[in-house]
Structure formats: structure tokens, C-alpha cells
Structure 1
């Protein structure tokens, strides 16, 4: 596996060779610093820890400062382990966006936008109980019946009801790398990527 930590910048569109407009997401990927190398002998599994984003020293604990000092780098705001990292990197070296090539398929992991507490119409696509009639009002967005009467006498688990929506970890697989800008650390990925602008995303292959 190879991967990199990035920050979602926003969305744009480009034209491919056939003249078709393709929507894509701009991600500022890296540079990442290798802050720890885990091995099967010492840690029980093989992994490479990458760090991204600058962090103020006044907001950094002493343990974190010592950890980053081993890699001879400044404090970072986000770290992530990649199991069985395919790139041969030493402690303190950097991983840049040029590890990916145009046309390559990648997986992107991010946290979706939080929507708060939402009803069944927005959360599950319900259509409500119907039109307003005599004696029935304010029922257009109601969930309707939710359970049985005397037989089960309870509401089954997993019933689609109102609740918290969004703020979930989501992985999108098979997204295509449209273009790579190594000098600006930018990578263009086809389609949408979960999360708001400025959120942290993981790009894996």
C-alpha cells in the first residue's frame, strides 16, 4: 500500500481528451514527513507513520515534541499510519504527491459533513404521509407508523427514524487521478470527496 495525507481545497472541472467536462476535487496532498517506522519485531505489525500540517509549539505536548524531534521535523497537526507501506522511506524523509500518476485509481477516506439532528425526509428520503386534509395538518414530513401493535409490541432495531446525520468516516473507492501538480502539491481526483473544504483526507492505493 502507498498513501498520503492531504487537505481538501475545493472542486473544479476540467476537460478530458474527448472534450467531456469532468468534475473533480482539488486536494493539497503533502508533503508528508515519515515520523515513525513500525516493524513486526518491535510493534507486532509493519506500518509507516506519516505527519502532515504545521502545528504551533505552544499547542504541542512535550511527548509530541520529542516524537517529532526523532524525525528532525517541526510539530505536525495530523499523523496517520499506513500498514505495509510499499515505498522504501527512512525516518525524517518526505512523501510527496508525485507517488501517484495520472490515470491511476485511488481510494479516498474522509469525514462527511455533519448535518445535525435531521428528520426522516432529509435523512432517509421519506415522502411524508401525504397531502393535508380536513383534520390532518402538519403531517407532510412525518414518519408515519413505526411498529406493530399486539404481536411484536415493540419497535425493531434498525428502524429508519430521525437522528444524527453526517459526520461519518467514508471511503470512496476507485476514483481516478485526473492530474498531478508536483510543484504545488496538488492532485485532482475525479468526482466528489467526502468532507468540507479544509478537511483532512487520506489518499490510498
Structure 2
């Protein structure tokens, strides 16, 4: 059974295990999510209720037809567990198994325009006097032939703000009362970032 839910990142802290070692953890507020659509073995879930004035009219008409609240974020995934009767069912952290690992996807922190060393881990030039090549990129291509720079050349540019998925993260603890997951290690994105979790 595959479970996917939407939530947000609260932040990082640490907990102590049975042996007294400090373990870095990330706190995630997951759900509650509502099933908004079931079609062809696909399930759509919604997260974070918003005002009807902030969505398009076609979406508003769909939500009103099935007597559902309006959601800011939605996500589709394959599942044969639910039927049409389950439309509007609320999914909470009680569906997540604590003994199984999860995958987490989110948008990483944007770092702005970055250079070669930071963005691609290039090595720097000699730092001796008169080098003039401390952090320069060096040659970026041949001369007359081909007479151009090939697409995809690793150069300076915007870094970060990409979708990143980290697999097999261990669940330390689940607080069902507050819908909070405590995950071992780090999770992409900054505080308040939307995260998508997947447990198979």
C-alpha cells in the first residue's frame, strides 16, 4: 500500500537515543489531507484549506459539486485502496507506519547566482603571486572548430531552487495528536517549505 501526503517543514532540532547520543532530526507537520478525486486507480489529495475566492471557477465548481472545501495544494498518486465512496475522507498521520522508511520531496533552498567552485565543485587555480587564475573558469571550448560552446556546459549560474528527493529517511517518532513527524537527518528546503512524503 502506497501512502502519499503533503505537509510543511517546521525546522530542525536534536533528540537523544537510548545510548545518549544526539541525533539530528527534522520536524514535519504532515496533513491532515483530504481525498478530493478518485479516477482510474489514481487518487488526488488536497492540503491547506483556503478561501473560495483564491481558486479558479472550474475548480470551485468541482469542489462545490462534491461538497468539499477548497485546497491550496493538491497531489495525485496511484492507489487502488480507495473507491468513489471514500471521496472526502481525511487522511492523517495514523496511516503512516513508524517502522518503515519514507521518501521526501521538496524544493531546495535557492542560493542565487553562484560561481564555478560553489556550483559545480570545480578546483581553483594556483594562489601564488602573478597567477591571475585564482577562481577563473579556464577554457570553455575549442577554437575555430566547432566555433561555439556546447549546450549544457557547466558554468556559473543560478544554484538551488530545484526539486530534490531524499529516499529511505528513518522515522524517529510520530505525534498523532499534532500531526508531526520526527525524521532522522535533514530535509530539502527552508522552514515553512511544502514537502511531499511517500511511503510504500
Query: SS of the counterpart of 1:7?
Result: strand
TM-score for the superposition, normalised by structure 1? 0.87
RMSD in angstroms over aligned alpha carbons? Answer: 2.0
Of 33, 42, 59, the residue aligned with 1:64 is 59
| Equivalent-residue separation in structure 2 for 1:57 and 1:122 (angstroms) | 44
1:23 to partner: Cα distance = 1.0
TM-score for the superposition, normalised by structure 2? 0.89
Match of 2:88? 92
Instruction: Give the paired residue count.
Output: 197
1:29 to partner: Cα distance = 0.4
Query: SS of the counterpart of 2:62?
Result: helix
Query: SS of the counterpart of 1:121?
Result: helix
| Equivalent-residue separation in structure 1 for 2:107 and 2:179 (angstroms) | 21
Summarize the alignment of residues 178-189 of structure 1 with structure 2, pairs less than 5 Å apart: 178-189=172-183
5+ long unaligned stretches in structure 2: none
| Equivalent-residue separation in structure 1 for 2:25 and 2:9 (angstroms) | 11
1:11 aligns with 2:6: no
| Equivalent-residue separation in structure 2 for 1:161 and 1:47 (angstroms) | 41
Query: SS of the counterpart of 1:123?
Result: helix
Is the 2:24–2:185 contact (alpha carbons within 8 Å) kept by the matching residues of 1?
Answer: yes
| Equivalent-residue separation in structure 1 for 2:152 and 2:186 (angstroms) | 28
Match of 1:159? 153
1:173 aligns with 2:167: yes
| Equivalent-residue separation in structure 1 for 2:27 and 2:82 (angstroms) | 24
| Equivalent-residue separation in structure 2 for 1:146 and 1:101 (angstroms) | 50
| Equivalent-residue separation in structure 2 for 1:86 and 1:197 (angstroms) | 33
| Equivalent-residue separation in structure 2 for 1:37 and 1:199 (angstroms) | 27
| Equivalent-residue separation in structure 2 for 1:124 and 1:32 (angstroms) | 38
Residues 142 and 87 of structure 1: CA distance in aligned 2, closer, same or farther (over 3 Å): farther
Deviations 1:61-83 (A, max 9, x none): 22222222344332110000011
